[in-house]
Amino acid sequence: MRSLLGVIAAAVALGGTFASAPAPAPSPTPPGSRAAVPPRDNHLLVRGPTYVYNRAYAGARTTVAAYAGRGGRATVVFVVTGMPRSTWGRRFGVHVHTNRCGRDPAAAGPHYANPRAPRGATLAEREIWLDVRVLPGGIGVSRHTSTYPLPSDIQANSVVLHAQPTNTVTGDAGARVLCTTISLANIPRPAVSRSRG
């Protein structure tokens, strides 16, 4: 069976449009060189879900990875496994929301909307959507690279999977099913390259 990280790596490789990709594996820092070597672990990775709001999805597991590329644009990768058989082949709306997950599905608040997006931007450009199609076997994978740079104090703290696909006009996707807390303000910023000496 393919490992979850393998699935994420495959998702990241799709399209190949990335300016930068996370290091393939953490490497041990040689003793005594901690200050001289920038951290290789340049991404956030969270496993969830933090809350499940529908008993039929109790077996679902989520992984959310996020990293910042050049210019402050960020990429978020969403993986869900263990989706019930009744969902195989269906699409589900997935979005980044403003607040952390809570016992109440509404706790995650509204969709995150990038305040740096220009006035004419569409919802899909302003928000972070990660809709997935569930494959046979119950796995769904998606990724989103922000259209515009994200502010470093971004108020985006969860990823919610809904019961329906996202309506691209309204952004609605029905009831909240799974919620995974991840604070995107904590994405490590790309290391500034310095002259070695």
Binding site for Cu ion (CB under 5 A): 95, 160
Residue type, 49: P
CB of 97 to Cu ion, least distance (A): 6
Structure tokens, 42: 């340049």
CB of 173 to Cu ion, least distance (A): 6
CB of 65 to Cu ion, least distance (A): 19
How buried is residue 58: exposed, middle or buried, by Cβ count under 10 Å (0-12/13-18/19+)? exposed
CB of 104 to Cu ion, least distance (A): 15
Q: What is the CA radius of gyration of the chain?
A: 17
Structure tokens, 8: 């994420």
Strands 94-97 and 140-145: unpaired
Report the candidate in 49, 5, 2 with the shortest Cα–Cα distance to residue 178.
49
CB of 111 to Cu ion, least distance (A): 6
Pick 141 or 160: Cβ nearer Cu ion: 160
Q: Are 183 and 196 in contact (CB under 8 A)?
A: no
User: In this chain, which residue has its C-beta nearest to Cu ion?
Assistant: 95
Pick 69 or 165: Cβ nearer Cu ion: 165
Collapsing DSSP to helix, strand or coil, 45 comes out as: strand
Pick 22 or 171: Cβ nearer Cu ion: 171
Q: Are 165 and 133 in contact (CB under 8 A)?
A: no
Pick 12 or 127: Cβ nearer Cu ion: 127
Pick 160 or 184: Cβ nearer Cu ion: 160
What's phi and psi for 14, nearest 5 deg?
-60, 130
